[in-house]
Amino acid sequence: MYFLLASSYKIAWPLTAMQLEVYRRNIVLFETLAAINERFAKLQDLLAAAMRHACLLSGEPSDRFLKLLSFFQKVGVIISVENWQLCRAARSFAAHDYEINYAIIAEHFNNLSDLVSELFGVSARSLFCDELIRVSLKDNDFASDFIAITTQ
């Protein structure tokens, strides 16, 4: 989260197709966008895996991911199954699509920018696991950053 947020701060949002076309050879810009893509996808994957593990540890049925999402919506970790599915679709696009249309690329990154706060919120609300299954933040130099980022 720390590095995803740091990379996001380097971009003047929202992006436009014209900006991307004009700066199409700007290595710093496109390396930053690549980092945002990667970090968003990894955070979304990490949260999905954490939810699966939390369900298993708490004895909740998790044979289908939709059941798992319904449980996490019920306990308030995710706002809605639909929001989570938007994050998942953005993650899949980030991980697998190699678009060359600047309008589509700009739309994708603007969507990621909008959805980052959703993933940060899921991360913060996941701390309910501390009470449910005795899992909590490890005390390290990123713990205070995690709290600061997720309470913005």
Q: Which pLDDT tens digit goes with each residue over 72-89?
A: 999 899 999 999 999 999
pLDDT given at position 135: 56
Over the chain, what is the mean pLDDT? Answer: 87
> Which amino acid type is present at position 104?
I
Burial of 9 (0-12, 13-18, 19+ CB in 10 A): exposed
Q: Is 6 part of a structural domain of the chain?
A: no
Q: Is 75 part of a structural domain of the chain?
A: yes
pLDDT given at position 148: 73
Q: Is 39 part of a structural domain of the chain?
A: yes
Q: Is 8 part of a structural domain of the chain?
A: no
Domain count, the chain: 1
Q: Is 1 part of a structural domain of the chain?
A: no
Q: Which pLDDT tens digit goes with each residue over 122-151?
A: 988 887 655 555 555 566 666 677 667 777
Domain that holds residue 137: 17-150
Q: Is 24 part of a structural domain of the chain?
A: yes
Q: Is 69 part of a structural domain of the chain?
A: yes
> Which amino acid type is present at position 4?
L
pLDDT given at position 143: 65
Confidence of residue 95 (pLDDT cuts 50, 70, 90): confident
CB-based contact 124:150 (threshold 8 Å): yes
Q: Is 118 part of a structural domain of the chain?
A: yes
Burial of 73 (0-12, 13-18, 19+ CB in 10 A): middle
